[in-house]
Structure formats: C-alpha cells, structure tokens
Amino acid sequence: MTAQANIHLIHTQDWQEALQDGFADVNALLEFVDLPKTDLPAPTFSQKIPRIFAQKITKGDWHDPILRQFLPTEHEDVPQTGYVLDPLAERAHSPVPGLLHKYKGRVLITPTGACAVHCRYCFRRHYDYSSHTKQSHMAAILDYIRADSSIFEVILSGGDPLSLSNARLSKWLDALEDIDHISTIRMHTRTPVVLPMRLDASLQARLNACTKSLVMVLHTNHPNEVDDTLKIHLEPLKAHLLNQSVLLKGINDDADTLVALSYKLFKMGVMPYYLHMLDKVQGSAHFQSDVDLDALYQALLERLPGYLVPKIVQELPFVANKTPFFYLAD
C-alpha cells in the first residue's frame, strides 16, 4: 500500500479538527496525564497542546520530556536578570512589518503568529505578532523581496507557517515562485511533529509542485516527540528535510538523548541541522542548561557519524549568522 493511502486510513480527524481538540488549560492537561491539579494563575503566554500530541506524555511523570516543554510553571512570569522581552533585538532588522532581513541573501518572514503548540521556552513568546502578521503586509513584503535581487532564499517562519490554511500558504508560494532571483523557499515548522496529519494530501501535492528548491526544517527536541505517523507523512514529500532543536535543561541536554534523536530522525529522512542554545527570553530561565558544551559536543562527535551531528549554535543580536558555541566568548 502506498504511504498516501495509509494517510487516509490512520486518521479519522483532519488537521483543523485535531488542532481544536487539545488542552488550553493547565489543569485539563494535568488531569489528562494523571497528575494533581495546581492553583497556578493562567500564564500570560497561554498554554496550548493538541490531544494527539499530549498522548505521547508518560502518565504520572512530572519529568516527562514532552510535558516539561509545554507545562507552564510558576517561574515563567517572574522577571529574571538577563532575560528580556526581545533577546535578539529583532525589531532592528525589520525593514517591513513581518519581514526580518538580517542575514545575507536570506530573509525571514512571519506570515502568521499562530502555532499548533505553545512551547514554554519560545523566544517569540513576547513578540508583537499583531503588528507583524497582518495579511495586508503581504504586498509590502513581496515588494521588498522583488526589489532586492541579492535575496535568494525566503524563510517562512512565524509563529508556524503550517498554521496557515493550504489556500493562504499557496498564495505565498505562488507569489514567491514568480520572483526569478529566489532559488530556495524554506519553511521552519513544528506543526508536522505535533500534528502529522497537517501534511495532508493537498498540501503535499502543492509542496511537491514547488518550482523552487524547497527546504523544510522541522523542530523536534526529543525522540519521544516523533513516531511512524510522522514518517508516513514525510515519505511522499520531495523537500529537503532538516531538523533543529533547542537545548533544554533536563530534557535533551545529554548525549544519549541527542544521539537517539539524530538516529530516529535519520530513519525518517530528516537530517540534523541546528541545536540552538536557548535565547534568553523572559520566562525561560528554568530551561537554561548548565551542561559542559565542549564535553557534550565531543560525545556527539564520537558517537554519531559526522552527518548526524547537529551544529550547536547561538543566535546573537547583531551577528548576521548563527554563531557556533566554540566561538562564543565566556
């Protein structure tokens, strides 16, 4: 049986339904995973996780590596020294609302602020999406890209570009495909990891018809996040598939977890790309790993074939590329 046929067999829900069927309340999630309720106030950055993804959490385990990424804690609305609202000073690099032009030849656009999940460590959690993602900005964004022939790659980010409907996403792809100097379209997305059925047949057909090189960078932090359902949905895609992770204390800041993640993704045709050091956004201090990066990287080099070793990098506010950890000043 083809992978395509499988897709229709394994899901009774379409992705929009699955997106709505989730936990937007801390105690509802805790009850689902058999943990006692809390009296935490509702967090500023709301909780959000679809049921199909929450099913991967081990019941009764506060330390579950998926639960910890999505469960708000009492720490996060407390100001912490060195943790700020806009750690990357992104506003300084935004010539048009909804577009960042910081790196040579590459622009990053944020066509939506919505995500299928709310990761507690998210560096865009305080981002003013309302002023950046309006549909009305599309024309100005496209004009900017058309006017600068040094731009060869457009990165659709967000939020999560796969929160857009297929129709809206296609409008972006159509317009970008019409620009001759664009050779590559890239998407950074976590949605297929949390809702594999988002890669539905119609989206796959559109992506496979793309006339530019297409790169999809998934965002997976822990091997428990992915299984064969994702594999089946990735199989028909012709895009180059990469993964980026964020280094998170007690979740994936050890060689065993990262080695397992690289192998698991490789079996799905996904190559590791970046392992990001945490951006110091307000509310994320409890995710800051204190692991010895030299030792961690050395262990990855020893245990993985070179092509499965992610680049450990940090995004710095005024540097126009990711900075490898071994270039960072202490």
Q: What residues from 300 to 319 belong to the interface with ligand PLP (CB under 6 A)?
A: 315
Nearer to ligand PLP, 106 or 137 (CB): 106
Asked whether position 122 contacts ligand SF4 by CB under 6 A, the answer is yes
The CA distance from 95 to 99, in Å, is: 7
- Build a one-symbol-per-residue string for 161-200: x at contacts with ligand SF4 by CB under 6 A, - elsewhere: -----------------------------x----------
Question: For residue 167, with 0-12 CB atoms within 10 Å meaning exposed, 13-18 middle and 19 or more buried, which class applies?
Answer: exposed
Exposure string of 21-30, with b = 16+ CB inside 10 Å and e = fewer, is ebbeebeebb
Residue 291's nearest CA partner among 246, 249, 257 is 249
When asked if residue 212 is in the footprint of ligand SF4 (CB under 6 A), the reply is no
* Residue 108 in the binding site for ligand PLP (CB under 6 A): yes
In whole angstroms, give the CA distance from residue 201 to residue 2: 12
Residue 30, strand partner residues: none
Residue number with CB closer to ligand PLP (102 or 198): 102
Q: Which of 19, 100, 247, 275 binds ligand PLP (CB under 6 A)?
A: 100
Name residues contacting ligand PLP, limited to 109-168 (CB under 6 A).
155
Contact 220, 197 (CB under 8 A): no
Are 137 and 98 within 8 A, CB to CB? Answer: yes
Residue 199 binding: pick among ligand SF4, ligand PLP, none (C-beta 5-8 Å cut-off by kind) = none
**Among the listed residues 68, 102, 124, 137, the single contact to ligand SF4 using CB under 6 A:** 124
User: How far is residue 46's CA from residue 69's CA, in Å, rounded to a whole number?
Assistant: 13
CB of 202 to ligand PLP, least distance (A): 28
Cα–Cα distance for residue pair 246/125, rounded to 1 Å: 15
- Tokens 């792809």 belong to residue: 173
| Contact call for residue 86 and ligand PLP (CB under 6 A) | no
Quick one: which H or E segment has residue 187?
strand 184-189
* Smallest distance from ligand PLP to CB 318, Å: 11
Q: How far is the CB of 162 from ligand SF4 (least distance, A)?
A: 10
8 A C-beta contact, residue 274 and residue 311: yes
300 in contact with ligand SF4 (CB under 6 A): no
**Of ligand SF4, ligand PLP, none, which one sits near residue 55, judging by CB under 5 to 8 A according to partner kind?**
none
The residue among 69 and 110 lying less far from ligand PLP, judged by its C-beta, is: 110
Rounded to an integer, what is the distance from CA 119 to the centroid of its chain?
9
Partner whose binding site includes residue 115, from ligand SF4, ligand PLP, none (CB under 5 to 8 Å by kind): ligand SF4
Q: How far is the CB of 32 from ligand SF4 (least distance, A)?
A: 20
Of the ranges 117-125, 135-143, 209-217, 255-263, which one interacts with ligand SF4 (CB under 6 A)? 117-125
Q: DSSP for 261-285?
A: HHHHHHTTT-EEEEEEPPP-BTT-G
Beta strands in 137-199 (DSSP E): 153-156, 184-189
Please pick, from the candidates 7, 64, 99, 106, the single residue that binds ligand PLP as defined by CB under 6 A. 106
Measured CA distances, 110 to 80, 130, 169, 237, 260 (Å) = 28, 11, 12, 23, 31
Binding site for ligand PLP (CB under 6 A): 100, 102-103, 106, 108, 155, 315, 321-322
Binding site for ligand SF4 (CB under 6 A): 115, 117-119, 122, 124, 158-160, 190, 219
